[in-house]
């Protein structure tokens, strides 16, 4: 998945489409699929973007137009990919030749990619976003864990080769740039596995998930009545996402100040769902709130205390989202949910508060089960907020 102007919409100041995707992924896909961000940004610029936008953590990150592959939150580099690229690449020669751009020839065995109307990337012939994806597919297959489906998403010229990988589903978002649309018309207009979405950025990705029937495509953020608990199909990850959506809407006074909503939260707690982050450990069935310091409080009292903060963020740019929900079943009707909780407050400089615990890093193919889906999202190469 590309990031800038595909997943991240710099023309959406409240990041609503991005938050919709976050909620959909964490509620339905985090535990059985892999999320890959692919970007033209260097690691430094990518980390800067993460500070500015409410982005969830991917399992794998492809950086610098496919010349770097990293894994997990710590962004551990793939040494095998580095060795592969170094076979036909001499940085000193490239630096020398680019100073004499008019004399640059294909004899140097490089790949030149023009995108975004202003970006020119000079890469090793074996590099690029598509080659990086092909490499990942090869590794997954060798481990016996090739995903059942792969969805690639793009919006600019350096994404074109992603769509050339065999058997992938592809989506160009509605705001895709002209060079990618021209490539599509010339090379893939008859390919039914590639669509041009009618929605922008992350909303176009959600549209593609539904179009190709890859799984649920209704984001919990699009569900207006969160009081429908659906206890006959209890899903711990969905309940975590729903709880914090309720919390956000309650504080923004976007829902009615009603006992019905609080009663629903208490009903969910009949199940043994343990919420664990750095702030709290909730034992739902026993009705206890246990702080890491050891202080205990009745869980129903905690829910009731929400009355005191109703509407305190009304009219403000206040958003809440969760990241990296990991569900572990610890009994016949008990689950442990580990996750990160983030809040955004203020509209001037996008201040983020990290309130949750960080789960340990996960390398994609170290999981015991095969992933159902591999979603490649393009990250932006440039931050347009500064313009």
The SS3 call for residue 349 is coil
Residue 51: pLDDT band by 50, 70, 90 thresholds? confident
Residue 40: in which H helix or E strand, if any?
none
Residue 5 has pLDDT above 80, yes or no: no
Average model confidence (pLDDT) across the chain: 78
Q: Is the pLDDT of residue 351 over 50?
A: no
pTM over 0.75: yes
pLDDT at res. 387: 22
Residue 185's Cα: distance from chain center in Å? Answer: 29
Check pLDDT > 50 for residue 278: no
**7-21, 78-92, 212-226, 347-361 — which is least confidently predicted?**
347-361
Token couple for 360: 């340990």
CA angle at residue 75 from 70 to 80, to 5 degrees? 35
Write the CB contacts of 281 (distance below 8 Å, at least 6 apart in sequence): 274, 275, 290, 291, 292
Give the least confident one: 148-152, 255-259, 271-275.
271-275
User: In this model, does residue 314 exceed pLDDT 90?
Assistant: yes
Domain spanning 16-386: CATH 3.30.70.360 = no
Tokens of 99: 């100073």
Residue 154 near residue 172, CB atoms below 8 Å: yes
DSSP bridge partners of 273? 335
Residues in the chain, overall count: 387
In the chain, domain spans: 16-386
**Which residues have a Cβ under 8 Å from the Cβ of 321 and sit 6 or more positions away?**
19, 22, 23, 26, 54, 56, 244, 341, 342
């Amino acid at each position: 998945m590309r990031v800038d102007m595909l997943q991240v919409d710099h023309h959406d100041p409240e990041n609503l489409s991005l938050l919709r995707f976050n909620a959909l992924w964490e509620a339905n896909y985090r535990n059985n699929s892999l999320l890959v961000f692919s970007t033209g940004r260097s690691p430094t610029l990518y980390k800067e973007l993460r500070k500015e936008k409410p982005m969830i953590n991917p399992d794998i990150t492809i950086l610098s137009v496919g010349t770097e592959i990293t894994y997990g939150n710590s962004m551990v580099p793939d040494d095998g990919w580095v060795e592969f690229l170094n076979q036909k690449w001499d940085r000193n020669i490239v630096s020398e030749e680019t100073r004499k751009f008019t004399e640059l020839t294909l004899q140097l065995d490089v790949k030149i990619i023009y995108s975004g109307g202003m970006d020119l990337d000079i890469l090793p012939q074996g590099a690029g976003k598509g080659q990086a994806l092909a490499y990942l597919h090869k590794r997954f297959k060798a481990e016996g864990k090739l995903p059942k489906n792969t969805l690639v998403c793009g919006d600019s010229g350096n994404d074109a080769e992603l769509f050339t990988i065999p058997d992938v589903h592809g989506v160009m978002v509605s705001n895709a740039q002209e060079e990618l649309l021209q490539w599509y018309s010339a090379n893939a207009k008859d390919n039914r596995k590639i669509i041009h979405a009618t929605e922008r950025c992350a909303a176009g990705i959600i549209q593609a998930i539904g179009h190709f029937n890859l799984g649920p495509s209704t984001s919990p953020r699009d569900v207006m009545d969160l009081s429908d608990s659906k206890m006959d199909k209890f899903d711990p990850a969905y309940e975590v996402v729903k709880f914090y959506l309720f919390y956000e809407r309650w504080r923004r006074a976007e829902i009615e100040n009603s006992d019905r909503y609080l009663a629903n939260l208490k009903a969910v707690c009949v199940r043994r769902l343990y919420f664990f982050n750095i702030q709290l450990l909730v034992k739902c069935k026993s009705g206890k709130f246990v702080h890491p310091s050891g202080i205990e409080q009745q869980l129903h009292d905690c829910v009731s205390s929400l009355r005191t903060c109703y509407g305190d963020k009304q009219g403000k740019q206040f958003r809440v989202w969760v990241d990296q929900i990991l569900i572990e079943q610890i009994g016949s009707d008990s689950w442990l949910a580990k996750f990160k909780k983030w809040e955004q407050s203020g509209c001037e400089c996008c201040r983020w508060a990290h309130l949750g615990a960080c789960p340990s890093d996960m390398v994609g193919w170290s999981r015991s089960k095969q992933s159902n889906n591999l979603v490649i999202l393009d990250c932006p190469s440039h931050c347009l907020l500064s313009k």
